[in-house]
């Protein structure tokens, strides 16, 4: 599991630090889920994950108001003793300053933050952010582009033409995500998010020319920071003895972080326009996701043609039998 610095979360959501006395450096969040301590406020700690960020919303706050000052202080003391990473109050709810809750948090080394956002929306955004930042990840050698809204990961051996193809796609109006090093994160069971390495972001290398800044050359519309991987294009040298798929009925996949991604192997020969091929592959993949497959249509046409020919042969056979059985006049 990966962890993120607490300061990054505070900066990302513009949280108000109600305990500035505590140093936030070297504090890490190690769990991608959050917890709203409803049962814990009632005293139930038999099943409680103290590593999660604790979130208090309107419901929990209303319950706290129903308690006496002594009960609230005892409740917070017990919560802070579990060594939670931090506590966040939504909707700019009061932190019971008059009762010394903030001082109690400082004594137990528990930062308290506040946000003006509604609880449900903030919790959803926070969970998505934490899961993305803590997702399993890997680095792949390739080029990532956004082609017609489809995330296309172009892979192949060094010098085969990945960067040149990506540059031509950018010139045709598509967007570059990463060149050479593609960082992939598994943000959910089925979604892989790709981005470029921070050191070489927006840069592309062309052998014989050097490094180019795509953003500066073609404008901000030519790049994007992240994109989910929808398909993989494998560029490989043409092998005259290898059988390549010419219809598209067979679905090849590649395993990336335990997720199967549709993969197309494209043989390289002089004169092939790879940019057009990748554009066509992206559009075809998009059509398949929308329920249409040209390969399936071809198969249906072939099956229908075979069925019709069989019917014609059967009719001819029956006609020939009738002629034989009919006596000549």
Q: Which residues are catalytic?
A: 141, 162, 180, 246
Distance CA 162, CA 152 (A): 12
Cα–Cα distance for residue pair 279/288, rounded to 1 Å: 14
CA pair distance 51, 49, nearest whole angstrom? 6
Report whether 90 contacts 57 (CB < 8 A): yes
- Length in residues, the chain: 329
Residue 311 burial (CB count, 10 A)? 10
- Token look-up 């509604």 returns 118
What is the Cα gyration radius of the chain? 30
Exposed e or buried b for every residue in 205-224, given b needs 16+ CB within 10 A? eeeeeeebebeeebeeebbb
> Residue 237, exposed/middle/buried by CB under 10 A (0-12, 13-18, 19+)?
exposed
- CA end-to-end span of the chain, whole Å? 93
How would DSSP label each residue in 159-172? TSSHHHHHHHHHHT
| CA–CA distance, 112 with 242 (Å, rounded to integer) | 63
Which among 58, 180, 187, 36 is positioned nearest to 117, based on CA atoms? 58
**Strands, DSSP E only, in 160-289?**
175-186, 192-196, 203-206, 210-213, 226-228, 231-237, 252-256, 259-268
């Amino acid at each position: 599991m990966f962890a993120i610095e607490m300061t990054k979360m505070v900066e990302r959501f513009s949280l108000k630090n109600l305990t500035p006395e505590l140093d936030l450096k070297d504090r890490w969040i190690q769990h991608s889920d959050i917890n709203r301590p409803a049962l814990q406020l009632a005293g139930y700690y038999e099943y409680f994950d103290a590593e999660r960020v604790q979130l208090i919303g309107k419901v929990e706050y209303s319950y706290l108001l129903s308690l006496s000052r002594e009960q609230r202080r005892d409740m917070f003391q017990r919560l802070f003793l579990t060594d939670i990473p931090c506590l966040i109050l939504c909707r700019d709810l009061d932190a019971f300053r008059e009762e010394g809750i903030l001082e109690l948090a400082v004594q137990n080394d528990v930062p308290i933050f506040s946000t003006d956002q509604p609880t449900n929306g903030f919790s959803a955004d926070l969970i998505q952010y934490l899961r993305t930042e803590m997702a399993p990840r890997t680095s792949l050698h390739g080029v990532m582009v956004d082609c017609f809204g489809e995330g296309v990961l172009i892979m192949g051996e060094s010098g085969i033409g990945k960067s040149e193809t990506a540059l031509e796609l950018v010139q045709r109006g598509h967007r570059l995500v990463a060149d050479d090093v593609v960082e992939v994160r598994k943000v959910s069971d089925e979604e892989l998010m790709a981005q470029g390495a921070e050191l070489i972001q927006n840069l592309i290398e062309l052998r014989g020319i050097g490094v180019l800044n795509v953003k500066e050359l073609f404008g901000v519309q030519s790049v994007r920071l992240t994109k989910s991987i929808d398909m993989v294009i494998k560029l490989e040298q043409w092998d005259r003895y290898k059988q390549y798929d010419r219809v598209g009925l067979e679905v090849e996949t590649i395993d990336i972080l335990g997720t199967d991604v549709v993969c197309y192997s494209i043989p390289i020969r002089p004169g092939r326009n790879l940019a057009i091929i990748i554009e066509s592959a992206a559009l075809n993949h998009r059509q398949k996701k929308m329920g249409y497959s040209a390969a399936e249509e071809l198969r249906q046409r072939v099956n229908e043609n075979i069925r019709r020919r069989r019917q014609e042969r059967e009719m001819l056979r029956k006609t020939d039998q009738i002629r034989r059985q009919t006596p000549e006049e």
